[in-house]
Amino acid sequence: MGLDITVLAVDWGRLEATPEGRRLEVLEEAAYPDVELDWDAEPEKGWVCPAAPLLHWIARYEFHCTSGSYKPHFWAGQAWEDVRGFAGPRLQEGLDGFLRDLFWHDDPVPPPLDGLVHDPGDPRRPGLLVACPPKTVSALAARWAVVDPLLEGLREAYDVHAARPGGWIEDFDGFAVLLREWAVVVREAEQRGWGLLGLPW
């Protein structure tokens, strides 16, 4: 069993107004709502809003191609490391910034978000996988606007240096699809003026 990620777009003001001791509980309720499952229904994909009953200020994004697993996101980052030296300067700078601000790269155990979310410190549970306040979301959207028209130019180099047939991210198409889903997430959060959080499971 591997690590999963649940991505939430959150009204930052409402989260800050929630008592500190309740914030993580509310986010977990949005990420993993206690609802009756219909086992015959198609899995949810895209935005689920509200994320849970009575939580109209939180939306949940269900990735189309990951089944909730964090592994595709991790391997997309690894693929970028393999191919980034073959990208042009504008694409390299833009995608470096997009991925750096989206995920915690510098600290393997990210701290609580400036005290916004209290983590009880369970050593079996990793910290937040994504933590982007609204200001960071706006910066991500600006970086993606640079990356998007340049991304296709990476296809040939990707196929030579980063393709992993049979892996979580097999080829350039898988890489681009996942990045573009993140762009959808960022765009929706920016349009609402909300932040983004990625909870582990």
pLDDT digits (tens, 9 = 90+) for 86-98: 999 999 999 999 9
CB-based burial, 158-176: b 16+ in 10 Å, e otherwise: beeebbeeeebbebbebbb
Band of residue 195 on the pLDDT scale cut at 50, 70, 90: very high
Q: 53: burial class by Cβ within 10 Å (0-12, 13-18, 19+)?
A: exposed
Please tell me the predicted confidence (pLDDT) of residue 105.
46
**What token pair was written down for 126?**
């990793």
In the predicted model, what is the mean pLDDT of residues 34-42? 54
Tokens of 120: 């009880």
Q: Which of 26-40, 49-63, 87-101 has the lowest mean pLDDT?
A: 26-40
For 152, which DSSP code? G
Other C-beta atoms closer than 10 Å to the C-beta of 44 total 10
Tell me what percent of the residues of the chain surpass a pLDDT of 70.
Answer: 82
Number of domains in the chain: 1
Burial class (CB in 10 A: 0-12, 13-18, 19+), 191: exposed
Residue 123 token pair: 């050593």
Instruction: Give the pLDDT band of residue 50 (cuts 50, 70, 90).
Output: confident
Contacts of 127 (CB under 8 A, 6+ apart): 104, 109, 110, 111, 112, 119, 200
Checking if the pLDDT of 108 tops 80, the result is no
Q: What is the mean pLDDT of the chain?
A: 85
Q: Are 16 and 116 in contact (CB under 8 A)?
A: yes
| Banded model confidence at residue 37, pLDDT cuts 50, 70, 90 | very low
> What is the mean predicted confidence (pLDDT) over 25-54?
74
Averaged pLDDT, 1-17: 88
SS3 142: helix
Phi–psi pair at 39, nearest 5 degrees: -70, -15
Predicted pLDDT at 67: 78
Residue 175 lies in domain: 5-200
User: What is the helix, strand, coil percentage profile of the chain, to 5?
Assistant: 50, 10, 40
Q: Three-class SS of residue 38?
A: coil
Prediction pTM value: 0.87
Statement: residue 1 has pLDDT above 50: no
Closest CA to 101 of 47, 182, 173, 167: 182
